[in-house]
Amino acid sequence: MNIVVIGGSGLVGQNILRSCEERGISATGTYRTAPDTGTNRELDKTDPVSVRELLQEIEPDAVVDTAAFHAVDDCESEQERAWTVNAQGTKHVASAADAVGAQLIYISTDYVYSGAPSDAPFSETDSVSPVNYYARTKYAGEQAAKIATETTVLRPSVIYGLASNNFVTWAISELRAGNEISIVDDQVSTPTYARDLAQAALAVADQNLTGVYNAAGPTRVSRYRFTRDLAASFGFNQDLISPISTEEFGQEAPRPTDSSLDSSRISNNADISFRSHSAVFDKLAEIS
């Protein structure tokens, strides 16, 4: 199997490339501004000619599109950029992947659901109701991805790991420095370990599974509880973490109250197991 990972320098992309290396899978990772571990080709997914030429050159069996403008609040103020990358850029990737007969695996988001607590956890049959502009562009990306004849959409939730900057690496840095942090306690999700999401992407590629799949961790948890559990595993002072409401925190973009996902469909169809954040934290604390 030959894979192209678009956005290979990001958190998910790095984990996919590392998993490919471990399994002996031929993989090409792209980067937008700066190369990182495993990336060797510069690519701007908003440039249709560059995308088409790269995929025609490599002729991959599968393309995993992880590249996105995912600064949720910035998407509200930079809507043109968000649409250009997340919607139009994905359209270019889908068209190019289809032209070479490659399966397209698109990494989307739990934010496409309404986030209403009464409806959570959400399954793939639940209706889509994006709560902010970022989510709107990602759902548009899902629709654009379907241009490819063979398309798989994976919807994760709060992706974390150590390979690249994300909420967990920020929290570890702050707590290790002894800084007090305020974390929202009224936003619930099912945090997804990037390593597990990478394995899921390779599994659907290997088995040629198509369609829409939730791909998230098994535990519903608030962002505040998630951070407290992180501190407990790493031996940080949990008293440094204070709860704050979403309203008090004042984020520019609306957030879903409960975007937790039911990922049983992909677990049953691809024999994928997503680990709880507590188990992952314990493991990461051992090796870091």
Which pair of structure tokens corresponds to residue 111? 């934010």
Three-class SS state of 212: strand
How many Cβ atoms sit within 10 Å of the Cβ of residue 63?
A: 27
Spacing of C-alpha 32 from chain mean position? 17
pLDDT for 39: 81
The Cα–Cα gap between 214 and 156 comes to: 6
Residue 35: pLDDT band (50, 70, 90) is: confident
Residue that the structure tokens 């992309």 belong to: 13
* Helix or strand (DSSP H, E) at 43: none
The Cα–Cα gap between 266 and 171 comes to: 30
How many Cβ atoms sit within 10 Å of the Cβ of residue 223?
A: 23
**pTM greater than 0.95:** yes
Partners of 62 in beta bridges: 3, 103
Three-class SS state of 11: helix
Let me know if 160 is a catalytic residue: no
Q: Per the residue annotation, which of 106, 113, 134, 224 is the catalytic one?
A: 134
Residue that the structure tokens 């908003």 belong to: 46
pLDDT digits (tens, 9 = 90+) for 154-180: 999 999 999 889 999 999 999 999 999
* Helix or strand (DSSP H, E) at 201: helix 194-207
pLDDT digits (tens, 9 = 90+) for 137-155: 999 999 999 999 999 999 9
pLDDT digits (tens, 9 = 90+) for 239-259: 999 999 999 999 999 999 999
Is there a contact between 286 and 235 (Cβ–Cβ < 8 Å)? no
